[in-house]
């Protein structure tokens, strides 16, 4: 196949060309619809040697609605699903007329003769105008280009973030436009966010398990039927561009959660909406018996190894980056996308090559989940990609639940040195304690088991292992949240905050709220408790500390070697008697204390040769996973000889260092101490008192 072919819609002089790919169709018709969609005109397209079906037409204007009907053999046993009764979405359409709100309609079913044109969204003709965009949105392509080490991610649902925010005009709540509002931008800036990562924003379709009469819908949007067109639920393309423009103006990047591992067409008996009806064998993985392979748990898996799918992937990413100004992409089930034709992991398969090429060409950030839904786990092996680290989440939760045998894993997460492959000198992990999928941070410390009954799946959906537990009281609960957030944001790696966790958002124990487009999932901004306000202030303090100190805003792994300028190791692991930890301490399952000293001059011996040596203050981290009892911890001397001073203690009890040189650790606490480096003495003392203001969290 020639590698320079065009698919989609483009202007050629006074004509418009429509092109679509299908290697197995017998005939394809282009269908034009009137504005009210009541009239349909069909035109047969011609096929070329590259399996491209195309036609050119005069008088076609932007906004013209269209779709395709593909004729051919309907034989699921051969992997063929052609049914001309079904209107098909153009896989390369940049706009769709609507979202699918009637996903239970039998016309979407693939094997009947019901016409689906009244249910399926119409593709819409769009012509990009870079010159007009540059005038209208001057910051759209002036990207902040924040380095990974300085990045702080905020994962948010477009709808859920602002649907209940009464500080915003009602007409923009739950929309792209909400993120462009000055109050929201000020909130993100104050919180220290550098990268807003939006959950899926392209048009989606719910599954048959989502019963409308139960109030369920595809809230999260992880079932795309197109990888270009924005979901009308959130606004228009112009709204999106304005949002990106305003966030860029404020120095905030915009990232998208993208889903290229499966689609909303589900399995062999479900929807016929686009790819499956045009050419299932070219878009989906199939086994030797021509059945759809389901490594994603959603009924199908996109075949990222075919050229047409690679082109769709590359064109989609390029469109969002180069036309809509997007700064980064997080790939859902990236490990699944990286499977070869035999469903074996290949870090150099066409998918991985494509995204690395796009990242290099467009300068976008690339991150993703290094696993497959069916159990494949490839952490540390996704070359060129920052990886979500769910092991970090599990370890931090378990440590602050009081579990045994967690200390060694926690040390690896804090230092960035765990699970590394290929002699890496920097950690490549994104760290979090909660994301959209699973318990919120609040629910981790308030529930023993999931509570997913509202999902109408008999509480069988969602993970059963959440490393959670009910806290003895609210003081302990919020202490645990603060400690977990501290251990995540101040660890080596890239921190991610799930929207609402900074103000104690709860989903009432639902750990799989994918179908709950209601107040169960939306962030409640009203009447924040004192505990939630204090939590918010603590998160602000953590992000400020990270930004202000290269000891924290750092991806370099520690070596444990001596820094010549002061004769101390770059990181030292200390036990409660003030001495360095020994093998027994690491192997002791009853050990619930982990402490380390980070040398302010550790960058002088960085294993990563690209790191510029930078002096910082010395820091000492004390973490207590004890569920009861206090521990007097002996504080060794700081590497640079200055006295330790308290930065914060998540108990809220800002105790002084004892006269005998010890500090009293309380259960579930995270304590940060600092010793000023002489080179930084002109800096204001790190008491961060300015974070005690009463600024609104709305």
* 263 close to 274: Cβ distance less than 8 angstroms: yes
Q: Which of 410, 429, 416, 431 is nearest to 489 (CA)?
A: 431
Cα–Cα distance, 683 to 673 (Å, whole number): 16
Place of tokens 């930084």: 680
* 384 close to 338: Cβ distance less than 8 angstroms: no
Dihedral angle of Cα 520, 523, 524, 526, to the nearest 10 degrees: -170
**Phi, psi for residue 595 in degrees, rounded to 5:** -140, 150
Cα–Cα distance, 94 to 311 (Å, whole number): 15
Q: Which residues are catalytic?
A: 332, 369
Q: Which of 374, 362, 365 is nearest to 298 (CA)?
A: 374
Residues in Cβ contact with 579 at an 8 Å cutoff, skipping those fewer than 6 apart: 636
Cα–Cα distance, 313 to 304 (Å, whole number): 8
* 297 close to 258: Cβ distance less than 8 angstroms: no
Give the DSSP per-residue string, 282-348.
HHB-B-TTSPBP-SSSSS--B-TTSHHHHHHHHHHHHIIIIIT---EEEETTHHHHTB-TTS-B-TT
* 570 close to 561: Cβ distance less than 8 angstroms: yes
Question: End-to-end distance of the chain based on CA atoms, in angstroms?
Answer: 54
Residue 652: which region, alpha, beta or left (left: phi > 0; alpha: psi -120 to 50)? left
* 388 close to 370: Cβ distance less than 8 angstroms: yes
Q: Which residues pair with 649 in a beta bridge?
A: 671
Q: How far is CA 646 from the centre of its chain?
A: 34
Exposed, middle or buried: residue 213 (CB in 10 Å: 0-12, 13-18, 19+)? exposed
Dihedral angle of Cα 309, 314, 317, 320, to the nearest 10 degrees: -100
């Amino acid at each position: 196949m020639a590698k320079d072919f065009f698919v989609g819609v483009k202007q050629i002089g006074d004509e418009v060309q429509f092109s679509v790919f299908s290697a197995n169709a017998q005939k394809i018709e282009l269908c034009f619809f009137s504005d009210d969609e009541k009239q349909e005109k069909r035109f047969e397209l011609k096929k070329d040697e590259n399996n491209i079906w195309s036609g050119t037409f005069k008088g076609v204007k932007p906004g013209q609605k269209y779709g395709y009907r593909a004729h051919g053999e309907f034989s699921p046993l051969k992997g063929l699903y052609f049914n001309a009764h079904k209107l098909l979405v153009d896989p390369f359409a940049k706009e769709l007329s609507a979202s699918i709100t009637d996903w239970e309609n039998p016309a979407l079913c693939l094997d009947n003769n019901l016409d689906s044109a009244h249910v399926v969204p119409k593709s819409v003709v769009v012509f990009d105008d870079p010159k007009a965009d540059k005038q209208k949105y001057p910051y759209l392509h002036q990207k902040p280009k924040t380095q990974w080490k300085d990045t702080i991610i905020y994962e948010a649902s477009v709808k859920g973030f602002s649907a209940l925010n009464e500080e915003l005009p009602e007409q923009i709540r739950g929309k792209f436009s909400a993120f462009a509002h000055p109050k929201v931008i000020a909130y993100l800036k104050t919180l220290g966010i550098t990268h807003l990562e939006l959950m899926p924003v392209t048009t989606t379709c719910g599954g048959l398990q989502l019963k409308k009469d139960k109030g369920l819908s595809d809230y999260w949007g992880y079932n795309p039927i197109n990888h270009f067109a924005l979901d009308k639920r959130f606004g228009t393309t112009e709204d999106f561009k304005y949002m990106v423009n305003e966030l860029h103006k404020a120095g905030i990047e915009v990232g998208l959660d993208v889903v290229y591992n499966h689609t909303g067409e589900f399995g062999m008996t479900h929807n016929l909406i686009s790819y499956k009806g045009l050419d299932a064998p070219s878009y989906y993985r199939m086994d030797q018996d021509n059945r759809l392979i389901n490594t994603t748990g959603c009924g199908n898996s996109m075949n990222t190894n075919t050229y047409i799918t690679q082109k769709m992937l590359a064109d989609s990413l390029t469109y969002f980056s180069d036309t809509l100004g997007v700064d980064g992409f997080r790939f859902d089930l990236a490990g699944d996308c990286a499977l070869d034709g035999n469903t074996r992991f290949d870090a150099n398969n066409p998918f991985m090559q494509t995204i690395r090429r796009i990242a290099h060409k467009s300068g976008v950030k690339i991150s993703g989940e290094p696993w497959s839904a069916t159990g494949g786990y490839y952490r540390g092996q996704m070359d060129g990609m920052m990886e979500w680290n769910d092991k970090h989440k599990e370890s931090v939760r378990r440590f602050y639940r009081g579990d045994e045998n967690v200390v060694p894993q926690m040390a690896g997460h804090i230092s960035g040195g765990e699970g590394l492959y290929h002699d890496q000198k920097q950690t490549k992990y994104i760290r979090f304690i909660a994301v959209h999928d699973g318990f919120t941070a609040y629910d981790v410390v308030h529930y023993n088991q999931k509570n997913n009954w509202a999902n109408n799946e008999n509480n069988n959906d969602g993970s059963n292992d959440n490393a959670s537990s009910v806290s003895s009281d609210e003081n302990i609960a919020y202490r645990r949240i603060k400690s977990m957030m501290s251990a995540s944001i101040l660890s080596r790696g890239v921190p991610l905050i799930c929207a609402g966790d900074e103000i104690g958002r709860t989903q009432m124990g639902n750990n799989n709220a994918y179908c709950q487009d209601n107040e169960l999932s939306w962030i409640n901004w009203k009447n924040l408790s004192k505990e939630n306000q204090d939590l918010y202030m603590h998160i602000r303090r953590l992000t400020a500390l990270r930004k202000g100190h290269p000891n924290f805003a750092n991806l370099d792994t520690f070596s444990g070697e001596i820094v010549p300028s002061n004769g101390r190791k770059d990181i030292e692991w200390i036990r409660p008697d003030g001495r360095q930890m020994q093998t027994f301490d690491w192997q002791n399952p009853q050990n619930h204390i982990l402490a380390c000293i980070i040398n302010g001059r550790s960058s002088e011996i960085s294993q990563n040769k690209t790191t510029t040596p930078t002096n910082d203050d010395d820091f000492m981290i004390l973490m207590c996973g004890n569920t009861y009892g206090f521990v007097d911890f002996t504080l060794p001397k700081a590497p640079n000889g200055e006295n330790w001073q308290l930065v914060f203690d998540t108990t809220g009890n800002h105790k002084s260092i004892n006269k005998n040189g010890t500090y009293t650790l309380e259960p579930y606490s995270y304590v940060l101490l600092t010793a000023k480096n002489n080179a930084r003495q002109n800096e204001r003392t790190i008491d961060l008192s300015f974070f005690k203001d009463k600024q609104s969290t709305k």
